[in-house]
Amino acid sequence: MKNYLEEQNEQTKMYYNILSKEFPNFLNDYIYTREMQKLDGINQICGSYWRKDNIYENMYSVLKHSVGVALSIWNFTHDKKQTIAGLFHDISSPAFKHCIDYLNGDAENQELTEEQTIDFIRNSEEIMKLLKRDEIDLLEVSDYKIYPIADNKMPKLSADRLEYTFMNGTYLRKVWDLTTIQEIYEDIEIIENEDNVSELGFKTVEIAEKFIEGASKLWPIWISSEDTITMYFLWRYNKKNAQ
């Protein structure tokens, strides 16, 4: 059996080890399906990585992000279904990722592509065989939003939001190092929020403030004019050449 963790560089191995001390074997079968492997060629930061004045330092694929989300969910829940749902959450991502949202008129929410998740899974013979083997129903892994530890509305914390914030602050911009990520991550636990729903939360105010301080250095980049123009241009360019 191929082992995804063993194929990563030392920095990624250390990062994944922070997210989960255990890399569950069952993940490998799902990671190496054709539908998941295609995500290895899609950049998590959409089209901005290829801009001439690229400020990002490294390529971080949607696959790496998806595995990170799955590991974080596994760390907090040890629930196989939630973990696989987290792994699949971006399975329907097209090339240039969220650039397509401008074509769909969904640039603000960036959720329309996720509606295709169930079709990508259902149409994969490999994945459906694995789900049957593991006695998991399609509907239990086709929408990670049913699991609040995996995803929920901002400004609440979730595994998805946590991972891409860590990722952006480590691989793409040097906001924090792995030691700081570990300090922040170890301060997080599952709590019951004001709506009596399980949610990720911080044990101490000081660490929560440290996380917000780092994340606030990234937010302006994600909504910058340069980023928006790049994504808008890419979908317009591809639409024109497809006609």
Give the best-scoring range by mean pLDDT among 59-63, 168-172, 173-177, 205-209.
205-209
Residue corresponding to tokens 């974080």: 72
pLDDT tens profile 136-177: 999 999 999 999 999 998 788 999 999 989 988 887 778 899
Q: How confident is the model at residue 67 (pLDDT cuts 50, 70, 90)?
A: very high
pLDDT at position 36 over 90? yes
Predicted TM-score of the model (pTM): 0.84
Give the best-scoring range by mean pLDDT among 173-182, 189-198, 202-211.
202-211
Residue 134 backbone zone (phi > 0: left; psi -120 to 50: alpha; other: beta): alpha
Burial class of residue 217 (count of CB atoms within 10 Å of its CB; 0-12, 13-18, 19+) = middle
Mean pLDDT over the full length of the chain: 84
Tokens of 35: 């539908």
Q: Cα-Cα-Cα-Cα dihedral of 213, 189, 15, 61, to 10°?
A: -80
The domain covering 5-242 belongs, at the CATH homologous superfamily level, to Hypothetical protein af1432 (1.10.3210.10)
